[in-house]
Amino acid sequence: MNSGTRIITVANQKGGVGKTTTAINLATALAAIGENVLVVDLDPQGNASTGLGIDRQQRLVSSYDVLTGNAGVMEAAMATAVPGLSIVASTLDLLGIEMEISSAPDRVLKLRNALNEDGIPYSYVLVDCPPSLNLLTLNAMAAADSILVPLQCEFFALEGLSQLLETVEQVRGSINPHLGIQGIVLTMFDRRNNLANQVVEDVRAHMGDTVYETIIPRNVRVSEAPSYGKPAILYDLKCSGSQAYLQLASEVIRRERRLRAA
């Protein structure tokens, strides 16, 4: 693999917190500022693949093939409508992968080994995880330079975070000692909601600088975009959600430089 490639895993075992939305819009924002980006869809639901306009019948070679060793990353990567952004799509085959690879000694290292392929041209790889701390998420953590955690601005935002961070700690203590925390991004923020403001304060009080300055607002354009097979940034660049993701991209790049230097 190109030593300049940075692999960021977007993870949270809760569903509906904005993982996929963050993966595809952050990836698009990075591509828009000239990075060469790959999204790896590790969720059997395939929302990142759909949201980037890849229909199910187009997914002839998928993340399942990459994890099982049937295909290399470059063979599985498909171009999207966004210049500079490719995706390894997912299929429902991924639902069975746990059973298929669970007895392999390198079962947690399948993605990492695949991304080690020579000549991978990407400067950023973003891995979208399923809503679970299963073998797929562990593969994504084992392969990553850093973890990016979306937290929804709702009452139970912090619940489950310690379990997630413990898992990161375990991965760091065993198979991936260099794994860092990229950051925590607050999503679906509604400033008219007092509770949301309270959640932001709480999360910042607990997690300090780990939390990005950028907060992603709840924005109907962001939720409409996937039904057109487009990231929000392509669907409506000017909307508040797209603008927030562009801002997040510059924070991520700044942090990645710092992590790389560490």
| Identity of the residue, 120 or 232, whose beta carbon is nearer to Mg ion in the bound complex | 232
Q: State the number of CA atoms in the 13 A half-sphere of 139 facing the CB.
A: 33
In this structure, the strands spanning 211-217 and 78-79 are unpaired
- What distance lies between CA 34 and its chain's CA centroid? 19
Closest separation in Å from C-beta 191 to ligand ADP: 13
187 part of the interface to ligand ADP, by CB under 6 A: yes
Q: Is 222 in the site for ligand ADP (CB under 6 A)?
A: yes
Distances (CA, A) of 144 to 156, 207, 215: 27, 21, 23
Residue 90 interacting partner from Mg ion, ligand ADP, none (CB closer than 5 to 8 Å by kind): none
Query: Where would I find the H helices in the chain?
Result: 19-32, 47-51, 63-68, 73-76, 97-101, 110-115, 135-143, 161-173, 194-207, 220-224, 232-235, 240-261
Residue at shortest CB range from Mg ion = 20
x/- mask, ligand ADP, residues 19-58, rule CB under 6 A, reads xxx-------------------------x-----------
Residue 123 near residue 9 (C-beta atoms within 8 A): no
Query: Minimal distance in Å, beta carbon 201 to Mg ion?
Result: 27
Given 6, 8, 13, 18, the residue binding ligand ADP (CB under 6 A): 18
Task: Decide if residue 230 touches ligand ADP (CB under 6 A).
Answer: no
Q: Does 227 bind ligand ADP (CB under 6 A)?
A: no
* Interface with Mg ion (CB under 5 A): 19-20, 47
